């Protein structure tokens, strides 16, 4: 009872303690969930109609496409421009997939497993696969057997049976395949959607007749023209109300994304006079040893930007300077140093030879096995080949590279190509081999059974030692350029000073450049995305640190932000004013000509202070009229006017025209109603499909946060 009484007496305190505990629990849960939400928000690179695209998913798709690009091009490294293009392509594809997926799901459109199977290995294989080089035979035709063998090779069970290093290569091939399989599936889904739309737009007989007439009938015309430039702009007044009215008519064309306004200074990172003098002195100091030495490889490799290549080459691979030297020099002669394109060069003719310029090579590459197994298989394959087995068949079965699909054919090699691609020993074997005989050579890639299948005729070839030293900014020059700009920024640390004093200080200043979040460069400045990102992370009036963008230093001031919406009337006034002024000039010229009422085309030309000119084959569908440009009104008048009838003055895009049809041309091809309708339907299908998906994307709610990451 005493205990119960104590509890009652302390009830208020207990309630307080329990309350605090509960509050702590709730707050802790909120903070945990909040941190999760915050982390998810940090990882959100974009959203499309509420569907989130995370940085992980986006980067995975970028990596996937990068690997596909490398495999297709044979590149090992991607330039920043290519990476940027891949990022943009991936983002567009992901937005497109989400928007199209939502729409097709509502319509119950899908690509079934059976349908996809048919497109990738059935009876109706996609053109994408049919055109892949790895599945083409020697005649350039699609080989379904090669496709099926490839699919068998990249099967999970098959991959598991290969050595670890080879499994890696096969997994890359599998990922390559899955990328295209997914692309084909998306492509088919898109086709289904656009086909539904385009089936509702069908050409009729009248459409077919009009299309045939527009494309089969043209006119030869003579014309006179008075250009709008003949009337001074100062004599034509355009009111603000007229500009405002045209602006409201065209307002939808003036939509703009949010953008920042920057002014920036650029400094070229270029060598100084001292850098050029030093490079010249360095290469000249090598000349005597270069001329006297019998081992030029060491001198070249120690001093040249380009390593020594122990190869013979024909003069067709040389630039003009090197070619002129090679064909006139004697062995041991040295030429240079010579200067061009910001580099010094010096040549030495090491040797000459009469030999084939190129050889065509096939091989069977063995890799991923023990040395004993490789030696056994090499001997076995060589034996059966000498016994009459078909090289191409064994290459498809045993070769461990992509050339296996082509029967081991690697193509044509010069000595330089063979050295760069497969090394010194492979090059030596390939260019000393007899045609159709078998040779074994080891490279870093594995063991090769090599067969030279063809050789070009013997030509004069030259072995050249080439010392090449590019003149680049020294560390002193680099520091001087940087410090000079940095000093300017420290003393011109406001927007006004930054802009006003740049020219006097000798800097190149670009004012009022606009950039959006998705711009990859400022103008044509390479690798300047970093400056754009800075502008969206800073405040108005701030001046940046110095950015290094390829061969330039850049410093910028953030002048302000133009909000998303419509461009202001003031910003498009010059454009609208010019258009309205041209319209008024046209009306003035037409009125003046009508008052004079010339009776012939030459009289019109005289009144226009112009001349009579001519042009042939002007039709309703002619996109640009030769010597005139785009003038849709002339297309219509030339098509509809009878021969011999002079038109009235017509105000076009660039001036006022008067024309006369001198001849009607008729295509004598037989009218085919079905063919014409098919042509129209195909054009409509493309336009409708392209426009429909574009409209879906435009209407989608896309939140793009990539500026935070890239």
pTM value? Answer: 0.69
pLDDT of residue 1: 37
Measuring CA to CA, which residue among 367, 398, 386 is closest to residue 439? 386
Residue at which a domain ends, from 521, 545, 563: 563
DSSP code at position 645: P
Domain boundary among 548, 563, 578: 563
For residue 9, is pLDDT > 60?
Answer: no
Tokens of 653: 């895009």
Structure confidence by residue, pLDDT tens digits, 642-688: 999 999 999 999 999 999 999 999 887 888 888 888 888 888 877 87
Mean pLDDT (the chain) is 89
Q: How far apart are CA 27 and CA 89, in angstroms?
A: 43
- Note whether 362 and 449 are same-domain residues: yes
Q: Are 344 and 337 in contact (CB under 8 A)?
A: yes
554 in the same domain as 489: yes
Looking at the structure, tell me whether residues 588 and 648 fall in a common domain: yes
CA 454, chain centre distance (Å): 37
CATH of the domain at 366: 3.10.50.40
* Residue 36 CB neighbour total at 10 angstroms: 10
Domain count within the chain: 4
Same domain, 601 and 652: yes
451 and 419 in one domain?
Answer: yes
Residue 514, domain member (yes or no): yes
Instruction: Please tell me whether residues 554 and 589 are part of one structural domain.
Output: no
What burial letters (b/e) apply to 323-356, b meaning 16+ CB within 10 Å?
Answer: eebbeebeeeebbbbeeeeebbbbbbbbeeeebb
357 touches 314 (CB < 8 A):
yes
Residues comprising the chain, all counted: 710
Is 128 within 8 Å of 177 (Cβ atoms)? no
pLDDT digits (tens, 9 = 90+) for 502-512: 999 999 999 99
pLDDT band at 211 (very low <50, low <70, confident <90, very high): confident
Q: How far is CA 674 from CA 198, 216, 670, in A?
A: 17, 16, 12
Q: What is the pLDDT of residue 40?
A: 57
- 364: in domain: yes
* Domain's final residue, options 332, 355, 378: 355
Residue 4 lies in a domain: no
Q: Is residue 450 part of a domain?
A: yes
Give the Cα separation of 275 and 475 in Å (integer). 10
Q: What CATH code is carried by the domain that includes residue 217? A: 3.10.50
Residues 642 and 585 in one domain: yes
- Are the C-beta atoms of 261 and 559 separated by less than 8 Å? yes
Which runs of consecutive H residues, i.e. helices, occur in 493-612?
495-500, 529-537, 569-596, 601-607
Residue 651 lies in a domain: yes
Give the tens place of pLDDT for each residue, 456-484. 999 999 999 999 999 999 999 999 999 99
Residue 536: inside a domain: yes
* Whether residues 442 and 497 fall in one domain: no
Percent above pLDDT 90 for the chain: 69
364 and 335: one domain? no
Q: Which of 202-216, 345-359, 437-451 has the lowest mean pLDDT?
A: 202-216
The verdict on 451 and 390 lying in the same domain is: yes
- Please check whether residue 660 is in contact with residue 653, taking contact to mean a CB–CB distance below 8 angstroms: no
Rounded CA-CA distance 290/334 in Å is 8
Residues whose CB falls within 8 Å of the CB of residue 44, separated by 6 or more in sequence, listed in order: 52, 53, 54, 55, 705
The answer to the question of residue 129 being in a domain is no
Q: Which strand ranges, in their side-by-side order, compose the sheet holding 446-455?
A: 409-413, 359-366, 446-455, 438-443
What is the DSSP-derived secondary structure letter of residue 563?
P
Domain range for 278: 273-355
Question: Is residue 119 one of the residues assigned to a domain?
Answer: no
Residues 480 and 440 grouped into a single domain: no
Instruction: Enter the DSSP assignment of 339.
Output: E
Nearest Cα neighbor of 333 from 291, 374, 298, 304 is: 291
For the cut 60, the answer to whether the pLDDT of residue 74 exceeds it is yes
Instruction: State residue 686's pLDDT score.
Output: 78
pLDDT value at 706 more than 50: yes
Q: Do 363 and 401 belong to one domain? A: yes
- pLDDT given at position 10: 42
pLDDT digits (tens, 9 = 90+) for 223-253: 999 999 999 999 999 999 999 999 999 999 9
Q: Is the pLDDT of residue 36 over 90?
A: no
| pLDDT (tens digit per residue) in 557-610 | 999 999 999 988 998 999 999 999 999 999 999 999 999 999 999 999 999 999
Please state, for a pLDDT cut of 70, what percent of the chain lies above it.
94
Angle, helices 475-491 vs 273-284, to 10°: value is 180
């Amino acid at each position: 009872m005493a205990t119960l009484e104590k509890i009652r007496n302390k009830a208020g305190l207990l309630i307080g303690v329990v309350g605090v505990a509960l509050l702590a629990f709730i707050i802790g849960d909120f903070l945990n969930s909040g941190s999760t939400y915050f982390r998810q928000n940090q990882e959100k690179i974009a959203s499309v109609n509420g569907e989130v695209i995370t940085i992980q998913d986006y980067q995975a798709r970028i990596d996937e496409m990068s690997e596909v690009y490398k495999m297709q091009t044979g590149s090992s490294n991607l330039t920043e421009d290519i990476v940027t293009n891949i990022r943009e392509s991936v983002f567009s594809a992901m937005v497109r997939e989400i928007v199209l997926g939502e729409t097709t799901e509502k319509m119950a459109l899908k690509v079934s497993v059976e349908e996809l199977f048919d497109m990738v290995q059935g009876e109706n294989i996609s053109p994408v696969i049919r055109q892949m080089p790895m599945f083409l035979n020697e005649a350039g035709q699609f080989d379904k057997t090669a496709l099926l063998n490839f699919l068998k090779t990249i099967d999970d069970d098959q991959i598991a049976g290969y050595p670890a290093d080879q499994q890696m290569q096969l997994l890359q091939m599998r990922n390559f395949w899955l990328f295209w399989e997914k692309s084909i599936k998306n492509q088919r889904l898109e086709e289904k959607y656009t086909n539904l739309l385009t089936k509702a737009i069908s050409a009729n007989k009248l459409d077919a007749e009009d299309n045939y007439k527009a494309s089969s009938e043209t006119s030869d015309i003579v014309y006179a023209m008075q250009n709008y430039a003949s009337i001074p702009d100062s004599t034509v007044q355009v009111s603000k109300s007229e500009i405002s009215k045209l602006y409201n008519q065209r307002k939808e064309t003036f939509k703009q994304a949010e953008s920042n306004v920057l002014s920036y200074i650029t400094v070229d990172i270029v060598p100084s006079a001292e850098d050029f003098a030093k490079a010249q002195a360095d290469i000249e100091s090598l000349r005597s040893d270069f001329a006297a030495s019998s081992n030029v490889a060491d001198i070249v490799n120690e001093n040249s930007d380009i390593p020594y290549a122990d190869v013979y080459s024909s003069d067709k691979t040389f630039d003009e300077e090197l070619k002129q030297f090679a064909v006139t020099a004697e062995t041991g002669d040295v030429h240079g140093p010579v200067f061009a394109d910001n580099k010094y060069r010096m040549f030495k003719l090491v040797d000459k030879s009469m030999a084939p310029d190129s050889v065509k090579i096939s091989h069977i590459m063995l890799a991923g096995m023990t040395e004993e197994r490789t030696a056994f298989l090499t001997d076995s394959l060589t034996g059966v080949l000498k016994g009459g087995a078909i090289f191409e068949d064994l290459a498809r079965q045993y070769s461990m590279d992509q050339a296996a699909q082509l029967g081991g054919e690697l193509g044509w090699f010069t000595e330089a190509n063979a050295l760069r691609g497969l090394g010194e020993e492979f090059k030596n074997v390939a260019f000393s081999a007899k045609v159709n005989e078998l040779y074994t050579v080891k490279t870093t890639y594995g063991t090769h059974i090599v067969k030279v299948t063809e050789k070009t005729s013997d030509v004069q070839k030259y072995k050249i030692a080439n010392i090449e030293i590019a003149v680049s900014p020294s560390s002193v020059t680099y520091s001087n350029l940087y410090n000079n700009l940095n000093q300017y920024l420290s003393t011109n640390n406001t927007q006004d000073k930054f802009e006003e004093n740049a020219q006097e200080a000798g800097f190149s200043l670009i004012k009022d450049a606009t950039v959006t979040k998705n711009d990859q460069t400022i103008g044509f400045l390479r690798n300047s995305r970093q400056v754009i990102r800075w502008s969206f992370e800073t405040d108005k009036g701030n001046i940046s640190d110095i950015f290094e963008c390829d061969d330039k230093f850049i410093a910028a001031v953030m002048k302000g932000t133009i909000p998303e919406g419509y461009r202001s009337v003031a910003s498009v006034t010059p454009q609208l004013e010019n258009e309205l002024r041209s319209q008024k000039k046209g009306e003035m010229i037409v009125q003046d000509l009508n008052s004079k009422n010339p009776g012939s085309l030459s009289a019109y030309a005289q009144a226009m202070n112009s001349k009579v000119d001519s042009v042939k084959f002007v039709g309703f569908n002619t996109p640009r009229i030769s010597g005139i440009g785009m003038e849709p009104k002339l297309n219509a008048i030339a098509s509809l006017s009878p021969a011999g009838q002079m038109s009235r003055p017509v105000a076009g895009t660039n001036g006022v025209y008067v024309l006369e049809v001198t001849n009607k041309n008729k295509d004598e091809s037989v009218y085919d109603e079905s063919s014409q309708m098919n042509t129209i339907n195909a054009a409509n299908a493309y336009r409708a499909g392209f426009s429909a998906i574009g409209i879906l994307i435009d209407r989608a709610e896309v939140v793009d946060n990539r500026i935070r990451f890239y």
